[in-house]
Structure 1
Amino acid sequence: MTDQHGVSVVRRPGGTLSDEDGLATLLAAYHLRTEAEKGRAVADVDGLPDRYRAEISDPRTAFADDVVLVALSGGAPVGCLVVTAPADGRSEIKRLWTAPEFRGRGIASDLLGAALAHAAESGAGAVRLSVWKWRTGAVALYERFGFTVTESWDDRDQLVCMERSV
């Protein structure tokens, strides 16, 4: 657990998630914003693709083999990040999100630092991630943490794939 500026980052194995951890709300905000940025805004969670709705409705199952980091401020969830278990020597970072009203406080950096530490402890030799090209702030954050653009493993247009050694 880290604690900076009144925010703590807690590590939860995916299979131990509960309805009270606030992850579903954070994931819903993440996916709704992403769809809007892609030009496919939907009114609510029911309009999201099935795989995203599954994460929101049952994060315990969706991330059963992963570790979820949740940033808390005063006990309230304000950010999240998912780290997959290492496969072929690599972990993957997914779903980095900070509630808009909490941005600019280093929460994403805290989550990312905790994710890299977890990946190293788990035996991963590298960590990869994908990010939408238009999320320039996120790309810059990843670059500050040593991630570099790598060959894409995902054929979605405007998706940038990045990786770094642990």
Structure 2
Amino acid sequence: MTERCEVVIVRWPGQVPSSGDGLAGLLAAYHLRTEAEKGAAVGGVDGLPERYRAEISDPGAAFAGDAVLVALSGGAAVGCVVVTAPVGGRAEIKRLWTDPEFRGRGIASGLLRAALAHAAEGGVGRVRLSVWEWRAGAIALYERFGFVVTESWDGRDRLVCMERVVCE
């Protein structure tokens, strides 16, 4: 049986996450895993594209104006998600990640639920996201939360674009 632990979702709209909060490690793990899954594995953060290194080295600057939500368990960061600032009534969910050691405990669902609540509180009408087609578990999670596949806004191959109405 998977051990359940208390998870607290911390929101940072308008706040700058500190460098010691574990967010950088979560973002690094996310990007390294994604590059490996795309067949472009790199030996470490220094091998990542500059835009990803910038997120890891200074999440506060990279996501200025966005809401960064972090799941904490016993004070340790175990998951994260970013909700972009709304543009034209639409926000985007990015970087949903749970530390592999903490998967199966509802952390991603909790983060997604909090992200959608944050969007609704901000009056966002629609939330969109993109996910690699091989991440079947993530796609299934998004579908359970009412996201549907939509026309792509991103030209990258194998990227699935999804959208959900938050409030109308």
> When the two structures are superposed, what TM-score results if normalisation uses the length of structure 1?
0.96
Counterparts in 2 of 1:161 and 1:90: CA distance versus 1, 3 Å? same
Which of 35-44 and 5-14 deviates more?
Answer: 5-14
Find the counterpart in structure 1 of residue 128 from structure 2. Answer: 128
1:43 is paired with a residue whose SS is coil
Misfit runs of 4+, over 3 Å:
none
Cα distance in 1 for partners of 2:13, 2:91 equals 14
How many angstroms does 1:17 deviate by? 1.2
Find the counterpart in structure 1 of residue 110 from structure 2. Answer: 110
1:65 is paired with a residue whose SS is coil
Cα distance in 2 for partners of 1:87, 1:56 equals 24
1:39 is paired with a residue whose SS is coil
Cα distance in 2 for partners of 1:122, 1:95 equals 20
Find the counterpart in structure 2 of residue 57 from structure 1. Answer: 57
Cα distance in 2 for partners of 1:149, 1:76 equals 34
- Higher-helix-fraction structure: 1
Percent of pairs identical after alignment? Answer: 77
Q: Is the 8 A contact 1:66 1:82 kept in 2?
A: yes
Write out per-residue CA displacement over residues 44-92 of structure 1, whole angstroms, 9 at most, x where no aligned residue. 0000001000000110100011000000000000000000111011010
Cα distance in 1 for partners of 2:45, 2:105 equals 27
Q: CA RMSD in A?
A: 1.0
How many angstroms does 1:14 deviate by? 5.6
Find the counterpart in structure 2 of residue 159 from structure 1. Answer: 159
Counterparts in 2 of 1:14 and 1:43: CA distance versus 1, 3 Å? farther
Find the counterpart in structure 1 of residue 47 from structure 2. Answer: 47
How many angstroms does 1:13 deviate by? 2.4
> When the two structures are superposed, what TM-score results if normalisation uses the length of structure 2?
0.95
Cα distance in 2 for partners of 1:15, 1:130 equals 25
Find the counterpart in structure 1 of residue 33 from structure 2. Answer: 33
Which of 6-15 and 38-47 deviates more?
Answer: 6-15
1:17 is paired with a residue whose SS is coil
Structure 1: gaps spanning 5 or more residues: none
